[in-house]
Chains A and B, each alone.
Chain A
Amino acid sequence: MVGPTASLSNLSRADGSASFKCPTTGCSVLGSVNAPIELPARRDALKPEEATVEVFVKPGNTTAGVGERYVEGILRTMLQKVILGRERGFARRGVVITLAIIGGDAVERGDSYLTLLPALLQTALLALLSAAVPMSMTFSTALLAVTKSGDIISDPSPVDAKTASSLHVLAFSSKGHLLLNESQGRFDFDTWEFVRERAYSTCRGAVVAGSDGDIAMDEEGEEGRADGFIRETVEDHLHRDYAWKIDSA
């Protein structure tokens, strides 16, 4: 199976940026992060001691509509919890995340954004990492579909997603907490538990955190794991950035 591809800091003007391409759903997302910036008209912010997180999603072929407002809300509530908005220099400022869907299927009216949500979340995370925004944890996401016959498929193609009896998006933090769950379609709780188990293993592998709080790193075990993918992308980027230093040493 072909894994997703990603690159960091593609845009020179933004504080941080990332692009992400998912081969199974065919969607590619370009994300940029500007943080911390002064937001106009933030004087009456509800929580002045915290940074305001703003997310904008731009679909590929139309202007943003109600569906985008909805997915922006999901991303905002999740990222607000992960970003450390009270760090020095962030209070009363803004973290602005812009995600443009630049490839893949168009989203129809009334469509749940579930098939695109993992790609949007991964791009947002990579862009935040690229902008060096302080975060309490990273996360990884999984998209799963349960077919009419009860099989669980991970990373379903658009056709599979359309015919599936239920669709699930789950996000796990780097410490193994369930951060986000969005499930849609008819299913019962036992099915969901299987889905969760499967999602957990695709996101974090079967590896359990060691006693010292460090995740036991296994080079082969990293293969195909969603959080390993994030780590590798960032490591590659850092390696390239510090090539001059590594070479001279």
Chain B
Amino acid sequence: MATPAATAAPSVPPSLSLPPSQFARLQPHAYLLAHLCPPSASNQPSIRANGRAPSQFRVTSANAGSLTHTNGSAVVRIGDTAAVCGVRAELLHTEDIASWSVSQASGSNKRRRLADLGGKPSEEEDDEDTEEDRAHIEDLNLLVPNLSLSTGCAPGFIPGAAPSALAQSLSHQILSLLHSTRLVRADDLRVWYQPPNLGPEEPERHNEDEPMDMDAEQSATAEEKPREIKAFWVLYIDIMIISLAGNPFDAAWAAVLAALRDTKLPKAWWDVDNETIVCSDSVADARKLSLRGLPVSSSFGVFEADAAAGWRAHVIPDVTEQEQKGKKGSPERWILADPDGYEEGLIQERASIVVDKEKDGKTTIVRMEKNGGWTVDTEDLRQLVEISGRRWDEMKRILDQC
């Protein structure tokens, strides 16, 4: 730690020499650059100021079931960034949904058929189910994530203040990712009711029917009595960032994922006599959510050697020029995985990739974002997707253990 500081500021007289920590505060850009690009005389490897290799993530730990009053909860810690997530389920009666009777009239047959197949829906079924899932989860707002940064997690965020723009946009990102990955199955959130078949004694049915083929009609009613949805579970997903040291999105998303994997919904059914929903007390009756896949997010930041590159108009190289420079070796920029708080202050260009892996080990990209600069292009993104794939394996191991 002491050497880069000494080499970067050799002309400072001994009486004014600074300890590395102060140099890091005064000249953050030069400090990180000296670590990443050590002078060739000293045989030091290129390493980040926090001792990590450029593509190395921080130590991650996850712990599920930490809160007792929630249906599912998790604490995820990535380095010094810690997120707590709690999932609370509440019932939404279909009679409280204003447009329910109208929207439900269409396509109720299809829904029943799909639901009847039950168990683990196969792949081809998934596609058919999609539209129904989307309609229920998105239109009825069954997932309500909220992220709070006003916990005193970092000096910049005043405790108890109104949600900052960052907190709001993180909440939105989580909701939008929950919707686009279709992580939660709508079928897990439905509470069904199967009206009992009262047979031919059902008075009005008997009278209205044309007396053509009574036997066939009876067997048909026995089967065709449609099940109805009586209520939905609404999942309130609350995330508190209790310590913020860079990269809040990865930590928050990992916490949401771990908490949803931990979530157990009590067995609920429609009580005809009381005309209400009743839940079972027994833990044995509760069932877990069956999530679709395991999308894992990894964020990256680009640290540029030339701090002025961002604003000097004439240094912007043409694409061809840039390629030639890249071939010459000695990169002018470093892509840092999982930037911490110190590095985030020096970074303008960011990339965030969410990947999922199928059973055959094939990597699927679920979301890919890149913004704030012009240095990252196809080749870099390809590498980042590879790194994210490796991160997926690591996160899966961590989440399976918790």
Interface residues in chain A, defined as those with a beta carbon under 8 Å from any beta carbon in chain B: 50, 65-67, 69-70, 72-74, 77-78, 80-81, 84-86, 108-112, 134, 136-137, 173, 175-189, 192-193, 196, 209, 213
- B201 beta carbon closer than 8 Å to chain A: no
Interface size on B, as a range, is: 35 or more
The smallest C-beta distance from A145 to any residue of chain B, in angstroms, reads 13
Contact of A184 among B172, B175, B178, B180 (CB under 8 A): B180
CB contacts (< 8 Å) of B316 on chain A: these are: 136-137, 175
Q: Is the CB of A78 within 8 A of B311?
A: no
Closest 8 CB pairs of A and B: A177-B374, A70-B169, A69-B168, A70-B172, A66-B172, A110-B175, A77-B372, A183-B368
CB contacts (< 8 Å) of A196 on chain B: these are: 378
Q: Is the CB of A84 within 8 A of B311?
A: yes
Q: Is the CB of B319 within 8 A of A189?
A: no
CB contacts (< 8 Å) of A182 on chain B: these are: 368-371
User: Bound state CA distance, A217 and B382, in angstroms?
Assistant: 33
- B385 beta carbon closer than 8 Å to chain A: yes
Q: Is the CB of A85 within 8 A of B365?
A: no
- Tell me whether A111 and B176 are in contact in the complex, defined as CB-CB below 8 angstroms, given that A176-B319, A179-B374 are known contacts: yes
Q: Is the CB of A188 within 8 A of B319?
A: no
Q: Is the CB of A66 within 8 A of B171?
A: yes
Could you list 6 A-B pairs, sorted by A, with CB under 8 Å?
A66-B175, A84-B313, A85-B311, A181-B369, A192-B368, A213-B318
The smallest C-beta distance from B163 to any residue of chain A, in angstroms, reads 8
Q: Is the CB of A183 within 8 A of B365?
A: yes
Which A-chain residue is minimally distant from B182 (CB atoms)? A186
The number of inter-chain residue pairs (CB within 8 angstroms) is: 124
User: Bound state CA distance, A117 and B79, in angstroms?
Assistant: 34
The smallest C-beta distance from A178 to any residue of chain B, in angstroms, reads 5
Q: Is the CB of A178 within 8 A of B169?
A: no
Q: Is the CB of B138 within 8 A of A178?
A: no
User: Bound state CA distance, A182 and B180, in angstroms?
Assistant: 13
Contact of A73 among B169, B310, B363, B364 (CB under 8 A): B169
Which A-chain residue is minimally distant from B180 (CB atoms)? A184
Contact of B363 among A137, A177, A184, A188 (CB under 8 A): A188
User: Bound state CA distance, A192 and B375, in angstroms?
Assistant: 18
From B311, B316, B350, B368, name the one whose CB has the most chain A CB atoms within 10 angstroms.
Answer: B311
CB contacts (< 8 Å) of A65 on chain B: these are: 168
Which B-chain residue is minimally distant from A136 (CB atoms)? B313
Contact of B370 among A69, A72, A180 (CB under 8 A): A180
CB contacts (< 8 Å) of B350 on chain A: these are: 77
